[in-house]
Amino acid sequence: MNRALLLIFISLMPLAVPAVVAQELGPAAFGSSEKTDGAMIGIFYDLKQTQKRENLPNDYLRTLGEFLDSGWDENVLSRFFRGTKPVYATEVLIPTMKAAAAPQAFHLENVVRPSSWFVIYKGQVSPPEDGTYRFVGVADDVLAVGVNGRTVLVSHFSGMTDHSHWVEPSPKERIPCWAGVMKRGDWFECKKDQIIDLDILVGEFPGNLFGAWLLIEKKGETYPVVKDSGGKPILPLFQVKARPDNDKKKDVPFSINDKPWTCHR
């Protein structure tokens, strides 16, 4: 290939795809199929078909907005296909990989194409200490978090918007990353051992690549910053069990908190 053709080829390559795609980390990143105490449960929805495997018209982002505005009422999703085998996860840290890994994680690779799906993680959780907290994160393509049925964060890939009424409270505090920006959510107060109902939704629309990263920030806490970032903080990964990060590619900057939250069920 001559130099001119090479330059044209490079210019047409997608700039947002990180090198980690070549490192297939597989469906295990979504959670374990074995029930684990102290883990959130993850449920898979396919918005392209009914439980009887009949095709449905697909308005992915409108359905997402309707679900969030309903107070996370899963009756809104009752017309869609729902997987029967859950996964169990202690974090939402899914490095960039092929979107097909999601149906594989739920043993649905033979019945679900890797587009227009949701995974909803649920748990009753409590913080390690009193404080005012907010979730921070992003996904390729969609990420949303609900606390006691109230949406506190919506952060999608590269400016993608849904039809929910959630309003970003601090747009000037976004944290740049390869997937666009990590948004900061609404602050909420929570005392040590006070249980809240937590819902985390991640999903993929076109079915190419997928990744999701959810962090947690405590008001008044001091965090290290990313070098040469203008003061952007390195926030701790939201976890309900502490675990090392040496097997996870850091598509976004994060740290491991030695004081994880607790998932009661």
Residue 131 covered by a domain: yes
- Worst-scoring range by mean pLDDT, 11-20, 98-107, 112-121, 166-175? 11-20
Residue 6 covered by a domain: no
> pLDDT at position 229, please?
65
Residue 232 covered by a domain: yes
pLDDT in tens, 136-150: 999 999 999 999 999
Helix (H, G, I), strand (E, B) or coil at 96: strand
- Tokens 């959630």: give the residue: 166
> pLDDT at position 44, please?
98
CATH number of the domain to which 38 belongs: 2.60.120.380
> What's the rounded Cα separation, in Å, for the pair 94 and 211?
5
pTM > 0.85: yes or no: yes
Residue 148 covered by a domain: yes
Higher-confidence residue of 76 and 226: namely: 76
Residue 180 binned pLDDT confidence (cut-offs 50, 70, 90)? confident
Q: Cα-Cα-Cα-Cα dihedral of 118, 17, 172, 159, to 10°?
A: -50
pLDDT in tens, 119-130: 999 999 999 999
Number of domains in the chain: 1
Residue 255 covered by a domain: yes
Residue 138 covered by a domain: yes
**Which tokens is 3 given?**
């130099």
> What's the rounded Cα separation, in Å, for the pair 108 and 118?
13
> What share of the chain has pLDDT > 90, as a percent?
73
Residue 8 covered by a domain: no
Contact 161/143 with Cβ under 8 angstroms? no
Helix (H, G, I), strand (E, B) or coil at 12: helix
Residue 159 covered by a domain: yes
Residue 10 binned pLDDT confidence (cut-offs 50, 70, 90)? very low
What is the domain extent for residue 125?
A: 16-263
